[in-house]
Amino acid sequence: MSENFEPKIVGFFCNWCTAAAADLAGTSRIQYPANVRPIRVMCSGSVDASYVIKALLEGADGVLIGGCHPGDCHYVNGNYKARRRVALLKSILTTLDLDPDRVWLRWISASEGLRFAKVIRQMTEELSQKGPNPMGKSPQT
C-alpha cells in the first residue's frame, strides 16, 4: 500500500444536521482531514442504496451518511429509515464483493461540529489502514 494513500470519502449529509455540523466545524475552525467530498441531501433517509453502491463502484474508499440523532429527524423518522436501509445494504454489499465496513452511518447533530471533525478523522484513519477500495481505478502513484 502506498504511504501517500489518501482515502476518498463521499459524504451524503443531511441538510438539517450533518451539513450544518460541517458548517459549524468550519466557522469554529475545527479542522479535519481533506478527504471528504460532501453532497447535501434533505434527509439521510433519502439516500438511495444505489447512490452508495455507485460511489463504491466508482472507487470511493468510503461512503459516510450523516443523519440526525434518533428522535431529532426533521421528517419525523427518516433517520430510522436510513438506519434500516444501511443495515440491509451492508448485508448485501458482501454479495457484491464490496466491503460493508466502507459504509458508515453516523448521527451528527447541527451543533456537533467537533463530532463531525472527529468522525471524518476517524474514518480517514480507518480507511487508510484498510487501503484503497479494490473497485477503484489504480490509486495515485
Give contact residues for another protein (rule: CB under 8 A): 8, 10, 15-16, 19-20, 22-34, 37-43, 45-51, 54-55, 58-60, 69, 71-78, 81, 85, 109-115, 117, 136-137, 140
Q: How far is the CB of 64 from another protein (least distance, A)?
A: 13
Beta bridge partners of 10: 37, 63
Q: With respect to another protein, which residue has the nearer C-beta, 69 or 94? A: 69
CA distance 4 to 128: 9
Set of cell numbers at residue 67 = 443523519
Label residue 131 left, alpha or beta by phi (over 0 means left) and psi (-120 to 50 means alpha).
left
Q: 10 Å Cβ neighbour count for 23?
A: 14
Q: With respect to another protein, which residue has the nearer C-beta, 121 or 130? A: 121
The arrangement of strands across the sheet holding 9-14 comes to 36-41, 9-14, 62-67, 103-107
Q: How far is the CB of 1 from another protein (least distance, A)?
A: 16
CA distance 51 to 32: 24
Q: How far is the CB of 95 from another protein (least distance, A)?
A: 18
Q: How far is the CB of 94 from another protein (least distance, A)?
A: 21
